[in-house]
Amino acid sequence: MATSRQCWKMHTSDLVIFIALPAVTFCFLLQQAVALSTDPVEVVALNTIRRSLNDPLGNLNSWNSGDPCTSNWNGIFCYPMAISGYLHVQQLQLLQLNLSGSLAPEFGQLSQLQILDVMWNKISGTIPREIGKITTLKLLLLSGNELSGSLPEEIGYLPNLNRLQIDLNQLSGPIPKSFANLISVKHLHMNNNSLNGSIPAELSRLPRLLHFLVDNNNLSGQLPSELSRIPNLKIIQLDNNNFYGSTIPASYGNMTTLLKLSLRNCSLQGDIPDLSAAPQLAYLDLSMNNLTGLIPSGRLSDNVTTIKLSHNLLDGPISSNFSRLPQLQILSLSNNRLNGSVPSSIWQNKASIGNESFIFDFQNNSLTSVSGSSSTPNNVTTLFFGNPLCANPVQANVVNCKPQTVSPISGSITGFKLSCPSCPKDLDYEHNPLSPIPCICAVPVRAGFRLKSPGISDFRPYVDKFKVDLTWLLGLHVYQLYFDVYNWEPGPRLGLYLMLFPDNTSQFNIKRSVAYQAILSGWEITLSDVFGPYELLNFTMGSYSSTTRSAINIHNIEGFTLDEMKRATDNFNNSSLVGHGGYGKVYRGILADGRVVAIKRAQAGSLQGANEFLTEIELLSRLHHRNLVSLVGYCDEEDEQIVVYEFMSNGNLRNHLSAESKEPLNFTMRLRIALETAKGILYLHTEADPPIFHRDIKASNILLDANYTAKVADFGLSRLAPAPNVEGASPDHVSTVVKGTPGYLDPEYFLTHKLTDKSDVYSLGVVFLELLTGMKPISFGKNIVREVSIAFRSGRTFSIIDSRMGSYPSDCVDKFVSLAYSCCQDQPEPRPTMSAVVRELENIWKMMPESDVLQSDPSVSGSEKPSTPLCSYPHLSSDVSGADFLSSVVPNVTPR
Q: pLDDT of 433-463, one tens digit each?
A: 888 888 888 888 888 888 989 999 989 888 9
Domain presence at residue 678:
yes
Tell me the one-letter amino acid at 173: G
Give the residue from 213, 218, 210, 206 showing the smallest Cα distance to 238: 213
Q: Burial level of 324, CB count in 10 A (0-12/13-18/19+)?
A: middle
Whether 519 and 621 share a structural domain: no
d(CA 732, CA 76): 33
Whether 584 and 515 share a structural domain: no
8 Å CB contact between 470 and 520: no
Label residue 695 left, alpha or beta by phi (over 0 means left) and psi (-120 to 50 means alpha).
left
Domain presence at residue 719:
yes
What pLDDT shows up at residue 859?
A: 47
CATH number, domain containing residue 101: 3.80.10.10
Is the bond preceding residue 176 a cis peptide, omega within 30 degrees? Answer: no
8 Å CB contact between 872 and 814: no
CA torsion through residues 619, 623, 625, 626, sign: positive
CATH number, domain containing residue 499: 3.30.70
Q: What separation in angstroms does the CA of 187 have from each of 165, 449, 450?
A: 8, 18, 16
Whether 642 and 657 share a structural domain: no
Whether 565 and 597 share a structural domain: yes
Whether 842 and 698 share a structural domain: yes
What pLDDT shows up at residue 886?
A: 32
Q: What separation in angstroms does the CA of 123 have from each of 98, 145, 146, 166, 170?
A: 9, 5, 6, 12, 11
3-state DSSP of 201-240: HHHHHCCCCCEEECCCCEECCCCCHHHHHCCCCCEEECCC
Whether 579 and 696 share a structural domain: no
d(CA 30, CA 411): 48
Active site residues: 696
Residues 6+ apart with CB under 8 A from 29: 18, 21, 79, 80
What pLDDT shows up at residue 793?
A: 81
Helices 882-889 and 757-773 cross at an angle (nearest 10°) of: 90
**Which residues on adjacent β-strands are paired with residue 382?**
360
Q: Is 600 annotated as a binding residue?
A: yes
Whether 802 and 719 share a structural domain: yes
Per-residue model confidence as pLDDT tens digits over 271-307: 999 999 999 999 999 999 999 999 998 889 999 999 9
Residue where a domain stops, chosen among 646, 666, 689: 646
Tell me the one-letter amino acid at 764: L
Residue where a domain stops, chosen among 625, 646, 667: 646
Question: What is the domain extent for residue 604?
Answer: 557-646
Domain presence at residue 488:
yes
Residues 6+ apart with CB under 8 A from 829: none
Q: Burial level of 2, CB count in 10 A (0-12/13-18/19+)?
A: exposed
8 Å CB contact between 124 and 101: yes
Whether 832 and 844 share a structural domain: yes
Domain presence at residue 333:
no
CATH number, domain containing residue 738: 1.10.510.10
d(CA 772, CA 820): 9
8 Å CB contact between 49 and 104: yes
Domain presence at residue 269:
no
Domain presence at residue 349:
no
Whether 731 and 850 share a structural domain: yes
What pLDDT shows up at residue 15?
A: 30
The helix (run of H) or strand (run of E) holding residue 269 is strand 269-270
Whether 738 and 614 share a structural domain: no
**Which residues on adjacent β-strands are paired with residue 596?**
590
3-state DSSP of 458-497: CCHHHHHHHHHHHHHHHCCCHHHEECCCEEEECCCEEEEE
8 Å CB contact between 708 and 650: yes
Domain presence at residue 190:
no
CATH number, domain containing residue 633: 3.30.200.20
Whether 74 and 45 share a structural domain: yes
What one-character-per-residue DSSP string does 578-641 give?
EEE-SSEEEEEEE-TTS-EEEEEEEPTT-HHHHHHHHHHHHHHTT---TTBPPEEEEEEETTEE
Please identify every stretch of the chain with a pLDDT value under 70, giving residue numbers as ranges.
Answer: 1-35, 80-84, 351-355, 408-418, 425-426, 509-511, 514, 541-555, 557, 581-583, 604-615, 618, 638-639, 689, 722-732, 735-737, 851-870, 872-896
pTM of the model as a whole: 0.59
Whether 806 and 668 share a structural domain: yes
What pLDDT shows up at residue 885?
A: 32
Count of domains observed in the chain: 5
In the chain, % helix, strand, coil (3-state, to 5) comes to 30, 20, 50
d(CA 339, CA 284): 22
Give the residue from 325, 237, 354 showing the smallest Cα distance to 284: 237
What pLDDT shows up at residue 604?
A: 63
Residue where a domain stops, chosen among 549, 572, 594: 549
Domain presence at residue 784:
yes
